[in-house]
Amino acid sequence: MTRILMVCLGNICRSPLAEGILRSKVDQEVIFIDSAGTGGYHVGELPDRRSIAVARKYGLDITDQRCRKFTVRDFDEFDLIYVMDNSNRRDVLSLARTNEDTEKVKMILNELFPNENVDVPDPYYGGEFGFESVYEMLEKACAIIAKKLHS
Ligand code: 4NP
């Protein structure tokens, strides 16, 4: 079983979409996907209604997800940790204990733009267009990740 964690700040906008999109593209018998946030502001909550809406528009239901906070134990539980932006990466890496932990952490848009460390913009304070463009970026990145996982 390969275990993959998607991480953003709030775990209500970007990483729940990344989790839902990647889940829809892989064999869940062999790949486990979860998400978490580096901040603890929304623990226990559903994804943001705008993420739920854009996912639904593309045929995905992400309402089974509940927000949780990233913890150092996630380095033991997961094989790969995809962060949405540079700030998430700093926060996650600040908890890494070993090189092995550090090597698990990847910027998700480096799948599309290798080594460029491009952020998935935080859509929380923006309008609906933000969620649509975030969805499109994550869809492209997750297609590449899914292809790699099953090759
Ligand atoms: P996310 O967006 O990191 O994509 O889930 C955010 C959601 C909530 C907050 C920040 C970012 N917040 O500060 O509450």
**Nearest Cα residue to atom 11 of ligand 1:** 10
How far does the centroid of ligand 1 lie from the alpha carbon of residue 35, in Å? 13
CA distance 66 to 54: 17
Residues in contact with 52: Cβ distance below 8 Å, sequence separation at least 6, in sequence order: 46, 62, 63
Task: Kindly report the backbone phi and psi dihedral angles of residue 64, in degrees, each rounded to the nearest multiple of 5, phi listed first.
Answer: -85, -10
**DSSP codes joined into one string, 63-124:** TT----B--TTHHHH-SEEEESSHHHHHHHHTT--SHHHHHTEEEGGGGTSTTS-------T
**DSSP codes joined into one string, 120-131:** ----TTS-HHHH
pLDDT at 99: 98
pLDDT at 126: 87
- CATH for the stretch 2-149: 3.40.50.2300
pLDDT at 128: 64
- Pocket, ligand 1, Cβ cutoff 6 A: 8-14, 37, 41, 122, 124
CA angle 28, 87, 82 (to 5 degrees): 15
pLDDT at 131: 97
Antiparallel, parallel or unpaired: β 31-37 and 80-83: unpaired
pLDDT in tens, 31-54: 999 999 999 999 999 999 999 999
From first to last of the 151 residues of the chain, give the pLDDT tens digit. Answer: 999 999 999 999 999 999 999 999 999 999 999 999 999 999 999 999 999 999 999 999 999 999 999 999 999 999 999 999 999 999 999 999 999 999 999 999 999 999 999 999 999 998 767 999 999 999 999 999 999 998 8
pLDDT at 27: 96
**Nearest Cα residue to atom 10 of ligand 1:** 10
Amino acid type, 150:
H
**Nearest Cα residue to atom 9 of ligand 1:** 10
**Nearest Cα residue to atom 7 of ligand 1:** 10
Q: Which ligand 1 atom is nearest residue 12's CA?
A: 5
Is residue 75 a contact partner of residue 96, using CB atoms and an 8 Å limit?
yes
pLDDT at 15: 98
How far does the centroid of ligand 1 lie from the alpha carbon of residue 45, in Å? 12
How far does the centroid of ligand 1 lie from the alpha carbon of residue 81, in Å? 18
CA atoms within 13 A on the CB side of 50: 17
CA distance 122 to 39: 13
- Residue 91 CB neighbour total at 10 angstroms: 17
